[in-house]
Amino acid sequence: MKSYKQTNIALGGEARIVIVSDKGDQYNLNILKELWNQLYSFEKRFSRFLPYSELSTFNRNSGTKQFISPEFHDILTAAIKISYETKQLFNPFLLPAIQKAGYKKSFVAGTENDKHDDYSERVVVGIDKLELTKDWARIPFGTAIDLGGCGKGYLADQLAVWLIGKVEGFSVSLDGDIVCAGTDENNSNWSILIQNISKNNNAVIGEIIMPREISAVASSGIMSKQGIINGKKWHHIIDPITLNPAETDVELVTIMHKECLYADVLASCSVILGSKKSVSFLRNQKIKDCLFQLKNKKTLLSGKTIKLY
């Protein structure tokens, strides 16, 4: 088997695709090309940092019924479902609070002066205010939504489904949201390394040996997207109760799930809840494998799939 690897900037961070196949260079390069086409098409349509995306247009026209694409319908359906399942710890209507906290612009180098929509003065409402039919959707006037990790996880899951049967193995990483299946070029299960946040960026604290069926790993924390406004630190994970950056003892949590969308959203919910409340929350969500890295430099490990070094 031969592996083909490509890395680019997309979806606000680094995207890395690895496929394993014995079907020849041209076949596999065409597979990679199609994957990037799907990825960039998704970003163009659903990034809140692009003023003419379907999502940005939808937010600007809050209060009115708007025809939506089938893919947007699927994403909103998934967002509604997981919002209710997490008792609105995940709420796509948190965009005004996210922007008010400080996360208004992309963290990708070179985009500092890009134009963007500012909804920080709009209001936050509950998921029940999102109206959705097969053909159209509507959010209340003066609100705005952000797909966040829900959209990124959704895309990773869709790419994985598309790849099944086309290659012998793959690993798709979208800014840390990772979905794998099959084997690597050595016919071994994929191994996902977990960053050790208490040391330098190249240090790892452990690894996850992935099963051969489609599986996902996602990490969420308060370190990657943060800043200072008026002398006060902020991060991008918002507590839906206070509408402020979550007060938490969790710096980074890594979760394994069969779906990337769930892994990403549940990881962020765990940051909001903090390590003590997250134990029962994740148990109720049928999560067995997770790793917490806490502010006091301690780690909490659940499950047998994740191995610490």
Per-residue pLDDT tens digits for 145-178: 998 779 999 999 999 999 999 999 999 999 889 9
Mean pLDDT of the chain: 92
Write out the residue limits of the CATH 3.10.520.10 domain(s) in the chain: 189-308
Structure tokens given for 93:
């209507």
Three state DSSP letters for the chain? CEEEEEEEEECCEEEEEEEEECCCHHHHHHHHHHHHHHHHHHHHHHCCCCCCCHHHHHHHCCCCCEECCHHHHHHHHHHHHHHHHCCCCCCHHHHHHHHHHCCCCCCCCCCCCCCCCCCCCCCCCCHHHCEECCCEEECCCCCCCCCHHHHHHHHHHHHHHHHECCECEEEEEECCEEEEEEECCCCCECEEEEECCCCCCCCEEEEEECCCCCEEEEEEECCCCEEEECCEEEECCECCCCCCECCCCEEEEEEEECCHHHHHHHHHHHHHHCHHHHHHHHHHCCCCCEEEEECCCCEEEECCCEEEC
Q: Checking DSSP bridges between strand 169-174 and strand 226-229, what pairing results, if any?
A: unpaired
d(CA 281, CA 95): 24
Q: How confident is the model at residue 16 (pLDDT cuts 50, 70, 90)?
A: very high
Q: What is the pLDDT of residue 191?
A: 96
CATH class held by domain 189-308:
alpha beta
Write out the residue limits of the CATH 1.10.3980.10 domain(s) in the chain: 49-146
Question: Span 49-146: which CATH code?
Answer: 1.10.3980.10
> Is the pLDDT reported for residue 305 higher than 70?
yes
Average pLDDT (289-299) is 91
Q: What is the pLDDT of residue 231?
A: 65
Residue-wise pLDDT tens digits, 261-284: 999 999 999 999 999 999 889 999
Q: How confident is the model at residue 293 (pLDDT cuts 50, 70, 90)?
A: very high
